[in-house]
Structure 1
Amino acid sequence: MYHFKAKMVVLNGIFVALIILFTHIFAVQTPFLRISFGFLPLAVYAAICGPLHGGMVGAAADLLGCMLFSPGFYFPGFTLSAFFSGYVYGYCFYNKNISMKRIFCTFIFLFVIVDLFFNTLWLSMLYHKAAMTFLLSRFIKGLIFLPINIIFFSVVYKAVQKYRQKIF
C-alpha cells in the first residue's frame, strides 16, 4: 500500500501551483493559441518524481487551472494531454542520464504528439473547425518556442539538480 508523506503532498501542491501560474497567469492567451512556460515546472517535477507522479500532477494542474481560470468550459481532452505530457517527461527523465539529445528528443516527441496532434484535435472538436486552421499557427509557435523551451528546461533542471538533496 502506498503511503503519502507530508513532504510529497506539499511538493505536489507547490508544483501544481507553479504549473497553474505559468500556464494561466504568466501567459499570453488567444482562443486557439497559448504562449506559456507551464511545461517547465511539470517537466522538472516529473524528472524528479517519476512518470506517474508527473502525469497526476499535470492532470491535477489542468483540472484546477481550468476551474479557476478557464474562459470557456472544461474539456477532458486537455487533461489527458496534460497527464500524458507529465508521464512522458517522467518516463524520459526520471532516474536517467539527462543529455541534450534526450531533452531534444523528448520535447520534439511531445511537440508532435501532444501539441500538434492531440491539442489540435481537441481544439477542432471544441470549435467545430478544420484542424488545419489551428495547425499552421501551432506549428509556427512550436518551431519558435521549441529551442527556447529546451534551453529553459536544461538550465532550470541543472540548477534544481544542484540543490536536489537539500530540497527533496
Structure 2
Amino acid sequence: MKRLATLFTQSYQEMKKLRTVTICGLMAAIAVALSAVASIEIGNYIKIGFSGIPNRMVDYLFGPVVGGCFGGALDIIKYLIKPTGMFFPGFTFDAILAGLIYGSFTYKKPLTLPRILTAKLVVVLVCNIFFNTLWISILYGKAFWALLPARLFKNAVMWPIDSAILFMISKALHTTGIFKSLSAAQ
C-alpha cells in the first residue's frame, strides 16, 4: 500500500512541472487529431481507434494522477470539439479511472506485453464492461443484462488488439528514443 501511495505522490509531483503540462498539451493535440482521422471500423460494433495512444503515453510518462486528470480533461475537450451524442459525466469518470489504472500499472515500470495486457484487462473489465454498460443502460433505458453480451464480445475482441497496438507503438517510441528524450526533459 505504501508503494501505491508513493506512486501517486510522485505522479502528483509530475503535475507541478511545466514540461509535464507542455507535453500533455502536445499529447492532447495529437489525440484530438487522431480521433478526427484515424480509426478503422469493422462492422457496426467494432472500431479500432488510435486516439487513446497519447493517453496511455501520458499515463506511462507521468503516472496515475496526471493520467487521470489528462483523461478527464481530454474527454471533455474532445466532446466540445466534436460532440457525438449527449454529454454524460459517467464517461468522463471512466476516462479518469482508465488513466488512474494505466498509470498505476505502467508509471516508472517497463512497458512489457504482459503488463499492458493486464492493465488493459483491468480497464476493460472495470471501465468498459461494467461502468460503460451501466452508463449506456442509464442513458438509453435499456436493461444492463441485455446490453452485457454484446459489450462482452466487443471488448473480448478489442482487448488483445488494443494491447498489441499499444505495445508495438510503445516499443517503436522506445527504439527511436522518444520516451528517453521526454523522460530526460523532466
Is the shorter-chain TM-score for this pair beyond 0.5, marking a shared fold?
A: yes
From 59, 64, 70, the equivalent of 2:72 is 59
The answer for the alignment partner of 2:144 in structure 1 is 131
8 Å contact kept, 2:60–2:108: yes
8 Å contact kept, 2:72–2:93: yes
8 Å contact kept, 2:90–2:135: yes
Distance apart, 1:135 and its partner CA:
2.1
The answer for the alignment partner of 1:21 in structure 2 is 33
Q: Which amino acid aligns with 1:157?
A: S
The answer for the alignment partner of 1:43 in structure 2 is 56
Q: 1:132 to 1:90 in 2, by over 3 A?
A: same
Comparing 44-53 with 9-18, greater Cα deviation is found at: 9-18
Task: Flag structure 2 segments of 5+ consecutive residues without an equivalent.
Answer: 1-12
From 20, 45, 49, the equivalent of 1:8 is 20
From 120, 125, 149, the equivalent of 1:107 is 120
Aligned residues with identical type, % of pairs: 27
Distance apart, 1:26 and its partner CA:
2.9
The answer for the alignment partner of 1:91 in structure 2 is 104
8 Å contact kept, 1:49–1:94: yes
The answer for the alignment partner of 1:166 in structure 2 is 181
Q: 1:101 to 1:48 in 2, by over 3 A?
A: same
Task: Flag structure 1 segments of 5+ consecutive residues without an equivalent.
Answer: none
Distance apart, 1:124 and its partner CA:
0.8
Tell me the number of residue pairs that the alignment of Structure 1 and Structure 2 aligns: 165
The DSSP-based 3-state class of the residue aligned with 1:50 is helix
8 Å contact kept, 1:20–1:62: no
Distance apart, 1:79 and its partner CA:
0.5
The DSSP-based 3-state class of the residue aligned with 2:85 is coil
Q: 1:108 to 1:3 in 2, by over 3 A?
A: closer
The DSSP-based 3-state class of the residue aligned with 2:118 is helix
Per-residue CA deviation, residues 93-126 of structure 1 (Å, 9 max, x unaligned), is 0011333222211111111111100011111111
Distance apart, 1:45 and its partner CA:
1.6
Distance apart, 1:153 and its partner CA:
1.0
Find the aligned partners of 1:86 and 1:21 in 2 and give their Cα distance.
19
8 Å contact kept, 1:47–1:94: yes
Find the aligned partners of 1:82 and 1:107 in 2 and give their Cα distance.
13
TM-score by length of 1: 0.85
Distance apart, 1:60 and its partner CA:
0.9
Question: Aligned-pair RMSD on alpha carbons?
Answer: 2.3
